Structure 1
Amino acid sequence: MSIVIRRAAPGDAAELLRLIKALARYEREPDAVKATEESLGQTLFGENPQVFAHIVEMDGRVRGIALWFLTYSTWTGRPSLYLEDLFVEEEARGTGAGRALFRVLAQEAKARGCARIDWAVLDWNEPARGFYRSMGGFHSEGWQPWRMEGEALERLAE
C-alpha cells in the first residue's frame, strides 16, 4: 500500500467536502456542514487563498485531509500554523497516513517560519488525543476556546 501526501488542487473540492462531511458525522454533528464544493473552491483555490489543504492518497484513493491556515503569535513574533481539521477515514487509520499527513504539516510550518502548530480536539475524542500525544502534542492548559457567530456577530457588525 502506497501513501502519498499532496497539496489539494482545484479538482479535489468534491473529495474534500466528502471527507469534511465524514468528519462531521464522526464528531456527532452530521448536519453542521454548510460548506459546498463552490465555497471550498473559492476559499482554497481562489485568487488569494487564506486556507490550505493537504490530501492523503492511498493506492490512488483519497483517504484523508488536513485543512489549515496561518495565525500569528505576538508573543513569539512569528506565524503559527492552525490545523482546522485533520481526518483520516476509519479504514485507513493505523496505517501511518495520519502521522505522514502531520509530518507534512510540520514541514510546512518549518518552511513558513512558524513557531508552532495549534489545533483543537473534542474532549471526548480520546483516540485523537492519544494520537496527538504519541507525536509530542499536548493540551494547552489555561486557554479556553471562545467564539462569536450568527446573530451576535451580525449585531456587533452593525
Structure 2
Amino acid sequence: MQIRLARRDDVPTINQLVRDLASYERASAEVTATDSQLDAALFGAEPHVFCHVGELDGVVVGFALWFRSYSTWTGASGLYLEDLYVRPEVRGRGVGRALMQTLAKRCLEEGLSRFEWSVLDWNEPSIAFYHGIGAHALDEWTRYRLSDEALVNFARGASQRFVAAPRE
C-alpha cells in the first residue's frame, strides 16, 4: 500500500471516486463537478484543496480530499476533511486508516490544532471506524448550508423573511 499526494493525472480517477462516494451516500444527482474543475482546485495557480490517494498494487483505490480551516477559539489553523472514500472491494485492508493517519501526521507537522470532518448519521460503518481511531462526534453542533436559490436570494437581499422553527 502507498499513500501519496495526488497528481494531475489522478484527477479523472479521483472524480470517479467522488461519484462513487455520492452514490454510496444516496446523492448521485448532486455531483456536478467536472474533471477540469477538480484539476483547477487541486493544481491551479493557488490551490486551496488538497488530496491524498491510496494505492494498492499501483492502482488508486481511495482518496482523502481536504483543506485548511481556522479556529478563532484556538487561534490556529486546522484541517477539514471534505471527502474520504475507499472502494468497497478493498475496505478492511487499511487504506482508509492509512489516509486518515497521513492527514493526522500532517496536522502535527504543520502545527494544526484540529482535524475535523462530517459523516452522515446513518453511515454506521464509517461512524464505527471514526470511533475506532479515537475521534468523537460533536453532537451539540448543527451544520447549516445556503445553496442554490436560497443563496442567491439571500445574497441579493431578498425581502422574504423566514420564521425560525422552534427547536425540539
Structure 2 distance, partners of 1:71, 1:155, is: 27
TM-score by length of 2: 0.91
Gaps of 5+ in 1: none
For residues 76-109 of structure 1, what are the alpha-carbon distances to aligned partners after superposition, in whole Å with 9 as ceiling and x for unaligned?
Answer: 1101100000000001100011111101000111
Tell me whether 1:40 sits opposite 2:38 in the alignment.
Answer: yes
Question: 2:28 — aligned with what?
Answer: 30
Q: Give the alignment of 1:41-60 within 5 angstroms.
A: 41-60=39-58
Matching residue of 2:103: 105
Distance 2:26 2:139 in 1: 25
Normalised TM-score (structure 1): 0.96
Q: What's the counterpart of residue 147 of structure 1?
A: 145
CA distance in 2, matches of 1:77, 1:105: 20
Runs of 4+ in 1 over 3 A off after TM superposition: none
C-alpha displacement of 1:9: 1.1
**Which of 13, 16, 27 lines up with 1:15 in the alignment?**
13
Distance (Å, rounded) in 2 between the aligned partners of 1:12 and 1:46: 15
Aligned length: 156
| Aligned-partner residue type, residue 105 of structure 1 | L
Deviations along 1:99-126, one digit per CA (max 9) or x if unpaired, are 1110100011112211111100000000
SS of equivalent to 2:85:
strand
Paired with 2:6 and 2:155, the residues of 1 have a C-alpha distance of 33
Separation in structure 1 between the aligned mates of residue 56 and residue 94 of structure 2, nearest angstrom = 11
CA RMSD of aligned residues (A): 0.8
Cα deviation for residue 152 of structure 1 reads: 1.7
2: CA distance, partners of 1:47 / 1:112? 22
CA shift for structure 1 position 35: 0.7
Gaps of 5+ in 2: 157-168
Residue 156 of structure 1: how far off its partner (Å):
2.6
Report the counterpart of residue 74 of structure 2 in structure 1: 76
Say which of 109, 115, 119 aligns to 1:117. Answer: 115
Higher Rg of the two aligned structures: 2
